[in-house]
């Protein structure tokens, strides 16, 4: 039983919960801004959809990445022997089907986005990861789209488009930096910007994408979507991002990418808090 419980680590429950939280923020922000009635039933379903599909994507990713993980992350469930590859594949497909099926009961827009994102997750793991930048863009879009999915529960996405953009840009920077951090393990196994075009170009693109997110972060406040407390909190996140960018631009190597990864993780968590506070209309 303990072994089976450990095997569930393959879905990365914390990542799944973060996706559900992003959906919740999208729901709350869209419904509060447009004074719509919030459907509790549909909202709960949407949270589960995000959790299951994110877990499915994480699992299928590990299924196709087992050789690379044997070098870069030998403690993950498949290379460590906690779960078999076949079991991981079946778990992933099951979670995809459950998530997509549940989204059908929300509305057609949510069903379409859930299906589309599931296909991207699958083909990212199987094909796109080996294409420089395409894989990074796919993951970044998927992270940002969780806010859109939440807004679609109440059929209004306008107010969450800027959150989608900010999340996509900051995630893109972090994903490219992660490739730079893993460049040694990825050589001869997978093509990334770092392996194909070098560490300097990879660091520059990651820094530019993140800096663009920082520069655009006041927009929700300027447009009146989110209040002053959002701005104050997101400025803390922006400061952390800038520290990470500075380190990455100065050294442009695996060590600086690791530092950037670590600090940007905290910055993204703080950004999520700023979105959450703003979604409740705190000013």
Domain ranges of the chain: 1-156, 159-283
Q: What is the pLDDT along the chain (283 residues), one digit of tens a residue?
A: 455 566 688 999 999 999 999 999 999 888 865 545 557 889 999 999 999 999 999 999 999 988 777 776 778 888 888 889 999 999 999 999 999 999 999 999 999 999 999 999 999 999 887 788 888 999 999 999 999 999 999 888 888 899 999 999 999 999 999 888 877 665 656 778 888 888 899 999 999 999 999 999 999 999 888 889 999 999 999 999 999 999 999 988 888 888 998 899 899 999 999 998 887 764 4
pLDDT at 34: 52
pTM recorded for the entire structure:
0.88
The CATH homologous superfamily to which domain 1-156 belongs is UbiA prenyltransferase (1.10.357.140)
Angle at 66 between CA 93 and CA 200, to 5 degrees: 115
CATH code, residues 159-283: 1.20.120.1780
Residue 182 — φ and ψ, nearest 5°? Answer: -100, 15
Comparing C-alpha atoms, which of 150, 96, 107, 121 is closest to residue 272? 150
- Rounded-to-integer distance, Cα 56 and Cα 24, Å: 19
Burial class (CB in 10 A: 0-12, 13-18, 19+), 152: buried
Helix axes 228-251, 254-279, angle to 10 degrees: 170
Report the alpha-carbon distance of residue 122 to residue 98 in Å, rounded.
15
């Amino acid at each position: 039983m303990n072994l089976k419980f450990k095997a569930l680590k393959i879905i990365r429950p914390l990542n799944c919960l973060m996706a559900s939280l992003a959906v919740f923020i999208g729901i709350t922000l869209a419904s509060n801004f447009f004074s719509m009635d919030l459907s509790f039933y549909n909202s709960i379903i949407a949270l589960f959809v995000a959790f299951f599909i994110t877990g499915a994507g994480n699992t299928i990713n590990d299924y196709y990445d087992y050789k690379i993980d044997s070098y870069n992350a030998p403690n993950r469930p498949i290379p460590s022997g906690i779960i078999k590859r076949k079991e991981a594949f079946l778990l992933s497909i099951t979670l995809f089907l459950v998530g997509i099926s549940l989204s059908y009961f929300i509305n057609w827009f949510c069903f379409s986005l859930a299906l589309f994102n599931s296909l991207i997750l699958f083909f990212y793991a199987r094909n796109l990861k080996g294409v420089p930048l395409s894989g990074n863009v796919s993951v970044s879009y998927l992270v940002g789209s969780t806010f859109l999915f939440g807004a679609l529960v109440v059929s209004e996405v306008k107010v969450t488009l800027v959150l989608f953009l900010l999340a996509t840009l900051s995630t893109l920077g972090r994903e490219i930096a992660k490739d730079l951090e893993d460049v040694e393990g990825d050589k001869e196994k997978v093509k990334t910007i770092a392996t194909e075009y070098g560490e300097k170009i990879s660091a520059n693109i990651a820094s530019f994408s993140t800096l663009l997110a920082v520069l655009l972060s006041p927009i929700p406040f300027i447009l009146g979507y989110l209040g002053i407390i959002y701005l104050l909190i997101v400025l803390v996140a922006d400061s952390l991002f800038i520290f990470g960018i500075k380190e990455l631009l100065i050294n442009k190597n695996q060590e600086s990418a690791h530092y950037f990864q670590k600090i940007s993780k905290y910055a993204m968590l703080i950004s999520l808090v700023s979105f959450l506070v703003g979604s409740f209309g705190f000013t």
